[in-house]
Amino acid sequence: MLSGPDHSLPRCGTLHTRAGVDGISYAPWLTRPDCRGTAMAARFSTVIPVLRMFDIRKAREFYLDFLGFKVEFEHRFEPDLPLYLGLSLGTVRLHLSEHHGDSAPGAKVMIETVGLAEYQAGLLAKHYGYARPGLERQPWGATTMTVTDPFHNWLVFTESDAMT
């Protein structure tokens, strides 16, 4: 049974919703452990996109050497199986996966940025052979820089006018 002290679900009902005393449905497994029907407060912190990659060498060249990401972790179930890679750039987190079912090429990720013009100048100074990203003014009051990775995923770095 998925409840009790060894699991996060309290032992206060079956896994279906019931009408509460005020006619509002609630899910017993989303109640406090005291089972009085008080809903747990959901908390959300970070979204980590998973992007598809096909070539580890190209991924490292693009994400590490060009964009400046750092490797947080690498994982393979076995040495000859696909790589799952965790990257970071400041507080931004991305995961890259060679696993065919994890993601599809062509994703777009928006990355809120402060100091976008300086970052763009640093990228151009690297003379990367496959990208020369430009800055683009947007009608919603932001400047963006779009960079397409070798696997056709779009990274859109964006800086709000309020941040400059």
Are 35 and 58 in the same domain?
no
Counting DSSP H helices and E strands in the chain, the numbers are: 2, 10
Q: Is the dihedral of CA 117, 122, 126, 130 positive or negative?
A: negative
CATH number of the domain within which 88 lies: 3.10.180.10
Are 68 and 135 in the same domain?
yes
The mean-pLDDT minimum among 11-20, 26-35, 80-89 falls in 11-20
Percent of the chain with pLDDT over 90: 71
Domain count, the chain: 2
Burial of 16 (0-12, 13-18, 19+ CB in 10 A): exposed
Distance CA 161, CA 39 (A): 39
Are 16 and 58 in the same domain?
no
Are 31 and 58 in the same domain?
no
Percent of the chain with pLDDT over 70: 76
Residue whose pair of structure tokens reads 């009085």 in the numeric block: 36
**Closest among 89, 91, 49 to 67, alpha carbons compared:** 89
| Predicted confidence band of residue 28 (pLDDT cuts 50, 70, 90) | low
pLDDT at 22 over 80: no
| Predicted confidence band of residue 162 (pLDDT cuts 50, 70, 90) | confident
